[in-house]
Amino acid sequence: MVPTSIFNSAQTQQKKRGTPYDVEYVPGEPCQEVPAGAPVLVWIYGGGYTGGDKTSSGNPAGLIASSLQNGSEGVVFVAMNYRLGLFGWLSGSDNVTANAGLLDQRLALDWVQQNIHLFGGDPSRVTVMGESAGAGSIMHHITSYGGNGSVPFQQAIPQSPAFQPFVPAQSKAIFQHVLGNASALSNMTITSAEQLRALPYEALYELNQIVTGLSSYGSFTFGPVVDPSPCSYVPDFPARLISQGKFHNVGLTVGHNGDEGLLFTPPTVQTQGEFIGAIEMLFPTANASTISYITEVLYPPVFNGSYGYKSAIGRTALAISDFLVGCNANIMASTLSPGYAYLFSVPPELHGEDIPYTFFNGDTSTIDEELPVNGTVAKVMQRYLTNFAMTGKPTAEGYQEFTLYGQNDTLTNIGLTGLGSRMRDPGAVPQCKFWQEAPYYM
């Protein structure tokens, strides 16, 4: 989506060069020389790496309007699709390209670099923004190729950067799981990627629905995977790569919500044994001592609030929140420069609750009628985000400017109370060192 002022300017420049839009476009003509200038905001949607599309998060009209406030220059908004489920994330075989979904996104970002000037955008002023799986994808792009080469963007806004850590051993098990279900579905013996590809699309579509539908509570079976092959796009876990200095430094504003884990927490986990089982399911390659360290030291069965929880559900939710989102946000904000961060604290603060605020267009209704969108908070949040895309600094007229996250883990509160105030990141916890080092995969 291109603001009218930017579009008209680009059109005028093309007409000055003798290539108005009402004539046939011929590759190589001067319309490829339209002066670029406007910042670009590229959206990568979330959906557990298995669902969603480029329009599923909402209409960007509110973001565009925010970027034009008070005479601001505005942004060019771009959204992409990428392959999902087994089509985008199946691996575990030498004959399958790992992380195809990430490569789809990279191709779209490269396209923006090559073509956005035709729409009035500046390829040297690209900010990529995404939520959940979209944000987790951004983290993988920031660490792509172990920091070698360059990335086709200059800034990033990862909102709740989420992904379940998958290692090669898990990928191989998932691949065999897919083959087994494919065999049952087709009434044939499917033992290879080639045989999978030979199935009709309708069968593969149904297979994808079956496999994702069989996912454990709160998980999605598919997502980015560590790929140890030469010249891999994902040579290791992003947090570990960042801690080793193997990343592409870009300007950053990262956000997370107050309760990222509850949505993915099985309600049946009540006992110590059930908690251990849940952790073992999430990290099937971890050895017994690692599982014991997680369940006895990092998140012990102590429910007096001293560890951040007072119930079995709260304990599991906190562990999931830390490894899934919070510690990812922490290491990016504390390492990338400049690094800014915010906490979305509007009740109930659950994962994904910030999306209606990011894409606010004046409609305050939500799925939960008792929790309508607060228009004031939404507009301030949008202004922070779009100003960062335009200037490199998250600012909103009448509210405190974000300060650098730094060594004090300082972020800005986006909430019903204390909107724009600064506070210490509640997600910056000692447990993050463990999750960032990822000892469950060596």
E strand spans, 59-175: 76-79, 121-131, 155-159
Lookup: tokens for 68? 């034009």
Rounded Cα distance, 340 and 332, in Å: 9
260 has catalytic annotation: yes
Identified catalytic residue from 91, 137, 144, 260: 260
Contact 99, 233 (CB under 8 A): yes
Residue tagged active-site, from 93, 132, 160, 345: 132
Q: What are phi and psi of 4, to 5 degrees?
A: -55, -40
Q: Token pair 């908070």 is at which residue?
A: 377
Strand partners, 156: 128, 252
Enter the tokens of residue 357.
């605020």
Pairing of strands 38-44, 339-344: unpaired
Task: Give dist(CA 83, CA 102) in Å, integer.
Answer: 9
Residue 417 DSSP code:
S
DSSP 218: T
Q: What angle do CA 59, 377, 398 make, to 5 degrees?
A: 115
The Cα 155–Cα 130 span in angstroms is 12
| Torsions phi, psi for 393 (to 5 deg) | -130, 130
Output b/e per residue, 415-434; b: 16+ Cβ within 10 A: beeebbeeeebebbbebbeb
Q: Which two tokens stand for residue 15?
A: 């007409």
Q: How far is CA 195 from the centre of its chain?
A: 32
Active site residues: 132, 260
